[in-house]
Structure 1
Amino acid sequence: MNALVKRVWFALAATLIVSLAAVALPDRIQIDDEGRIHLGAPAPTPFLSTAAPTPESTSPPLTREDVDEVIRTAVSAAGLDPAQGRPTVAAGANSNRTGWMAVREKPAAQSEMKAICADLERRGWVLNPNGDSADASRSYERGGWYLLVSTRGKTQAPSNALSDSQTYLTMTGLQVNLSDIPLPEITIRMR
């Protein structure tokens, strides 16, 4: 009986891990309707249970300075002065990360986030359709960079940093090249 319980827990844990990975990397991990998991190169036949991966952006690679300028421009397009906030990564500290944040009143932060997102979309940033919340966060991709625009509240900040009516408005940029991560094609059948 103890061995059976261990097998069940292992199967549940493996399913959860693979399911989360499939959401994060839909072009690298796929689960078909029969429970088979494919890692690495896409399987030769399409699966009904997974959404087709979005094509990679063909825009030229961006530098950190380019992304810093995109952030300043988008913040300005939302009617904010970029100097009202602060950078989340020091200039020159890391060439593949950048960001900006400001403390805002909650109702204003929602409309400012929408204005920032609209500006990014006008400038050719591609919206990630998976896992975003229109009112809390949206992520975009372009030129090898990912930008997350979010309003995050008091629960993720020190208790004395924000009043009940305030939240953080943040833009976080991260340069990630998932094609540099080699994954062999592996098929696992779970029953």
Structure 2
Amino acid sequence: MAAALIVSLAATIAPDHVQIDEDGRIHLGAPAPTPSPSTADPEPESTEPPLTREAVDEVIRAAVAAAGLDPEQGRPFAAGADSKRTGWTAVREKDAAQSEMKAVCADLERQGWKLNPDPRGDRPEARSYKRGGWYLLVNTREKSGAPSTTSAPTGTQAELTLTGIQLNLSDIPVPLPEITVRIG
């Protein structure tokens, strides 16, 4: 399950380098690029200064509050000394979670975060944003990956989660070698 979550996050953050086919096979790395006249040039990386984890924590708290939620009622991710990860999650009613996710996303856009589009098309349960060297994944899910010491969603509930990861994509060699992984 952890591998599936990591691959899903990777596919949302770096869609050019992760492809999942109909058989459930996951391809990491991009095959040799084939130029296409209809392909738009990629958006250049922002030159704005990198954000700190504390700044991203504040962005998350503000977006959650803008959605009408109390940031203290959810669980912040215990990042400890890891200054490149942060997040927040809460168990919500399934019907409310979708509208709250939309409100969180609207506030992130208001704060200047840029949508990182998913090449597989619009996915109502997940959105990825980028800004200042950080990627924020906002998603809802019915199944919980939470430890048994926390409350898991019931059939009418879902988790609303914001996950922040600081990545320096210039450290990733391009093109990546192609690797195929089968999970399950």
Tell me whether the two structures share a fold, i.e. TM-score over 0.5.
yes
How many angstroms apart in 2 are the aligned matches of 1:184 and 1:119?
Answer: 34
SS at match of 2:72: helix
50 and 166 in structure 1: CA distance in 2 versus 1, 3 angstrom threshold: same
Match of 2:111 among 97, 100, 123: 123
Q: Does the 8 Å contact 1:30/1:50 carry over to 2?
A: no
51 and 153 in structure 1: CA distance in 2 versus 1, 3 angstrom threshold: farther
How many angstroms apart in 2 are the aligned matches of 1:164 and 1:50?
Answer: 42
1:138 aligns with 2:130: no
1:23 aligns with 2:15: yes
Match of 1:170 among 141, 161, 172: 161
Q: Does the 8 Å contact 1:132/1:138 carry over to 2?
A: no
Q: Pairwise mapping of residues 40-51 of structure 1 onto structure 2 (< 5 A)?
A: 46-48=35-37, 50-51=39-40
Cα displacement string for residues 86-130 of structure 1 (whole angstroms, at most 9, x for unaligned residues): 11224x431000000000001110010000000000111010112
Q: Counterpart in 2 of 1:76?
A: 65
Identity level (%): 64
Q: Counterpart in 2 of 1:15?
A: none
60 and 132 in structure 1: CA distance in 2 versus 1, 3 angstrom threshold: farther
RMSD: 2.9
Q: Counterpart in 2 of 1:106?
A: 94
Larger relative contact order (C-alpha < 8 A, sep ≥ 6)?
2
Unaligned runs of 5+ in 1: 1-19, 32-36, 187-191
Q: Does the 8 Å contact 2:17/2:176 carry over to 1?
A: no
67 and 162 in structure 1: CA distance in 2 versus 1, 3 angstrom threshold: same
How many angstroms apart in 2 are the aligned matches of 1:93 and 1:133?
Answer: 35
Comparing 134-143 with 52-61, which one deviates more in the overlay? Answer: 52-61
89 and 24 in structure 1: CA distance in 2 versus 1, 3 angstrom threshold: farther
Task: Return the index of the structure with the highest Cα Rg.
Answer: 1
Cα displacement string for residues 36-88 of structure 1 (whole angstroms, at most 9, x for unaligned residues): x14xxxx8xx4247553222223221000000000000000000000110112
Match of 1:62 among 51, 73, 97: 51
Aligned length, in residue pairs: 152
How many angstroms apart in 2 are the aligned matches of 1:119 and 1:57?
Answer: 20
How many angstroms apart in 1 are the aligned matches of 2:126 and 2:62?
Answer: 19
- For normalisation by structure 1, the TM-score amounts to 0.69
Unaligned runs of 5+ in 2: 1-10, 19-28, 178-184
How many angstroms apart in 2 are the aligned matches of 1:176 and 1:121?
Answer: 20
